[in-house]
């Protein structure tokens, strides 16, 4: 029966389901790769709450991401109920079959009360703090971005506030878009690997990308902004 407690081990599976959702703008990477999924827990009212963080505050993909995550977690809940019900039959399982959300918030914290898994409410919550940084993009995510023709963000940036140097960039942008105190080597071309690339504009096709071009192969490409 699909009616049982949501255990901590279930939450890990639900988080994995949320993390596996592809980014709607950059479908080659998952939300997990991007570091957007912050965690999954059962709220006091019995709902499953997925905490997400926006990359840019105004990113239009944010609402699509939330909807996709809800759908993925709801689907995973249904299969959880069907498969491993026996193993997870912990505290007072099977008692009130059909009871949707248990009003008496018995256990707080990570695991929840008895519920019909197919009818548990799934919510998403946007968490602004701590602020997302491109440092949170996984190595796997960086590799997939590069393979897709998008230069990954320059690694190793301390996640502090980036200072702007006042001075003209040769040819408007030889160095990184924000040439901070520690100049970084130029972004390599994801197509041919040449490091002779130039910044066309710090703003590109999505809020998180800038637009660059390769001098060697001539190909223009998007590059994730370091944030």
Partner 1 sequence: MTTPVAQYALQLGDDALILSQRLSEWCAHAPELEEDVALANLALDLLGQARTLLTYAGSLEGRGRSEDDLAFLRTEREFRNVLLVEQPNGDFAMTIARQLYFATYQYELYAALCESTDAELAGLAAKAVKEVAYHRDHAVQWTLRLGDGTEESRRRMQEGVDQLWPYTAELFEADAVALELAGSGAAVDPRTLRPAWEASVAEVIEAATLTMPSGDWQPRGGRAGKHTEAFGLLLGEMQALHRQFPGAAW
182 part of the interface to partner 1, by CB under 8 A: no
Looking at the Cβ atoms of 84 and 207, the one nearer to partner 1 is: 207
168 part of the interface to partner 1, by CB under 8 A: yes
Residues from 65 through 124 that contact partner 1 (CB under 8 A)? none
Q: Which helix (H) or strand (E) holds 15?
A: helix 8-19
Output the smallest distance, CB 119 to partner 1, in A.
Answer: 27
The contact mask relative to partner 1 for 128-157 (x = CB under 8 A, - = no) is xxxxxx------------------------
51: exposed, middle or buried (Cβ count in 10 Å: 0-12, 13-18, 19+): middle
**Contacting residue, 92, 193, 201, 215, with partner 1 by CB under 8 A:** 201
Output the smallest distance, CB 1 to partner 1, in A.
Answer: 39
Residues 91-129 as b or e (16 or more Cβ within 10 Å = b): eeeeeeeeeebbeeeeeeebbbbbbbbbbbebebeeeee
Stretch that binds partner 1, among 11-19, 103-111, 117-125, 166-174 (CB under 8 A): 166-174
Instruction: Name, in order, each residue with C-beta under 8 angstroms of 11's C-beta and a sequence gap of 6 or more.
Output: 40, 41, 42, 110, 111
166 part of the interface to partner 1, by CB under 8 A: yes
162 part of the interface to partner 1, by CB under 8 A: yes
Residues from 42 through 71 that contact partner 1 (CB under 8 A)? 54, 56-60
Instruction: Name, in order, each residue with C-beta under 8 angstroms of 17's C-beta and a sequence gap of 6 or more.
Output: 72, 73, 75, 76
Rounded to whole angstroms, how far apart are CA atoms 202 and 186? 14
17: exposed, middle or buried (Cβ count in 10 Å: 0-12, 13-18, 19+): buried
Residues from 3 through 42 that contact partner 1 (CB under 8 A)? none
Which residues contact partner 1 by CB under 8 A? 54, 56-60, 127-133, 161-164, 166-169, 172, 177-178, 200-205, 207, 211, 225, 227
């Amino acid at each position: 029966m699909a009616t049982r407690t949501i255990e901590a081990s279930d939450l890990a599976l639900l988080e994995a389901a949320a993390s596996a959702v592809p980014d709607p703008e950059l479908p080659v990477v998952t939300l997990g790769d991007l570091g957007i999924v912050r965690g999954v827990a059962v709220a006091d009212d019995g709902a499953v709450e997925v905490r997400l963080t926006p990359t840019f505050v105004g990113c239009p993909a944010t609402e699509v991401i939330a909807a996709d995550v809800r759908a993925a977690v709801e689907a995973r809940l249904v299969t959880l109920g069907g498969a491993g019900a026996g193993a997870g039959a912990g505290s007072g399982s099977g008692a009130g079959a059909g009871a949707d959300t248990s009003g008496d918030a018995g256990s707080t914290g990570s695991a929840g009360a008895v519920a019909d898994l197919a009818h548990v409410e799934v919510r998403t919550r946007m968490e602004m703090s701590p602020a997302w940084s491109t440092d949170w993009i996984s190595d796997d995510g960086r590799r997939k971005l590069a393979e897709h023709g998008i230069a990954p963000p320059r690694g190793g940036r301390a996640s502090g506030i980036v200072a702007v140097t006042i001075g003209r960039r040769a040819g408007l942008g030889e160095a990184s878009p924000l040439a901070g105190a520690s100049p970084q080597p130029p972004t390599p071309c994801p197509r041919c690997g040449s490091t002779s690339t130039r910044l066309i504009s710090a703003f590109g096709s999505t809020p998180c990308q800038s637009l660059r071009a390769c001098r060697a192969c001539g190909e223009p490409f998007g590059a994730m902004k370091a944030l």
